[in-house]
Amino acid sequence: MKIIDSIFRGLHNSRISTKIMIIYVAAFAALLFATNFLAWAAMTYGMYNQAEHSLEFSMENTQKLLEDLEQNINLNTDSIRDPLTPGVVLRVVDEDGNVFLDTDQRYISLERFNENLLANPPFWSNEDMAVAEYGHALIYRSQMQFTHGNTTMNLYFFRTIISDVTLFDRLRNILLAIALTGLSLAAASGYAVSKRILKPISDMTKTAHNIAIENMDSRIETPPVEDELTELAKTFNNMLDRLQAGIAQQQRFVSDASHELRTPATVIRGYSDLLARWGARDPEILKEGIEAINAESENMQQLIEQLLFLARADQRRQPLKMQMLELSKLVGDVVTSLEVVTHHHTLELVKNASGTIFADKVTIKQMLRIFIDNAIKYTPKGGRITVRSERAVDKIKLSVSDTGIGIAPENQKKVFDRFFRVDTSHSKREISGTGLGLSIASWIAEQHNITIDLESELGKGTTITVSIPLQPDVDEFIDEPQSAPTNFFAGGDDKDDRHDLRFSS
* Cα 24 versus chain centre, distance: 24
- Give the span between the Cα atoms of 387 and 368, in whole angstroms: 10
* CATH assignment at residue 13: 3.30.450
3-state secondary structure of 293: helix
- Residue closest to 464 by CA, chosen among 402, 408, 403: 402
Q: Mark whether 355 and 307 lie in a shared domain.
A: no
- Structural domain span for residue 330: 320-499
In a domain, residue 471? The reply is: yes
Note if the pTM is more than 0.75.
no
Q: Mark whether 302 and 163 lie in a shared domain.
A: no
* Cα 418 versus chain centre, distance: 33
Strands (E), 265-380: 322-326, 346-352, 356-360
Q: Which residues fall within 8 angstroms of residue 499, CB to CB, at 6 or more apart?
A: 305, 309, 362, 363, 366
- Give the span between the Cα atoms of 32 and 186, in whole angstroms: 11
- Torsion over CA: 171, 177, 178, 180 (sign): positive
The bridge status of strand 88-93 relative to strand 99-102 is antiparallel
The residue from 157, 172, 187 where one domain ends is 172
The residue from 146, 172, 198 where one domain ends is 172
Q: Mark whether 300 and 336 lie in a shared domain.
A: no
Q: Mark whether 359 and 232 lie in a shared domain.
A: no
The residue from 172, 188, 220 where one domain ends is 172
SS (H, E, C) 81-145: HCCCCCCEEEEEECCCCCEEEECCCCCCCHHHHHHCECCCCCCCCCCCCEEEEECCEEEEEEEEE
Strands (E), 302-437: 322-326, 346-352, 356-360, 384-391, 395-402
Give, for all 505 residues of the chain, the pLDDT tens digit: 566 566 556 556 666 667 777 777 788 778 878 887 888 778 777 778 888 888 889 988 888 888 776 655 556 666 777 888 888 999 888 888 888 888 888 888 888 888 888 888 877 778 888 888 888 788 889 988 888 767 788 899 999 887 656 776 777 788 788 878 877 887 787 777 777 777 777 777 777 777 766 667 777 777 677 777 778 778 888 888 888 877 777 776 676 667 667 767 787 888 788 787 777 777 887 888 888 788 778 777 777 777 777 777 777 777 788 999 999 999 999 999 888 888 889 999 999 999 999 999 988 998 999 899 889 988 998 899 999 999 988 899 999 999 999 888 888 888 888 777 766 555 555 555 667 788 888 888 999 999 999 999 888 899 999 999 998 765 444 444 443 433 333 333 334 444 444 444 4
If you ran DSSP here, which 8-state letter would residue 498 be given? G
Q: Mark whether 272 and 346 lie in a shared domain.
A: no
- Give the span between the Cα atoms of 74 and 59, in whole angstroms: 19
Q: Mark whether 147 and 249 lie in a shared domain.
A: no
Strands (E), 299-345: 322-326
Please state the φ and ψ torsions of residue 319, each to the nearest 5 degrees: -70, 135
In a domain, residue 326? The reply is: yes
- Give the span between the Cα atoms of 383 and 454, in whole angstroms: 19
In a domain, residue 486? The reply is: yes
* CATH assignment at residue 494: 3.30.565.10
Q: Mark whether 41 and 149 lie in a shared domain.
A: yes
In a domain, residue 241? The reply is: yes
- Torsion over CA: 186, 191, 192, 195 (sign): positive
- Residue closest to 452 by CA, chosen among 494, 491, 413, 404: 413
In a domain, residue 29? The reply is: yes
If you ran DSSP here, which 8-state letter would residue 240 be given? H
Q: Mark whether 278 and 347 lie in a shared domain.
A: no
- Give the span between the Cα atoms of 444 and 330, in whole angstroms: 15
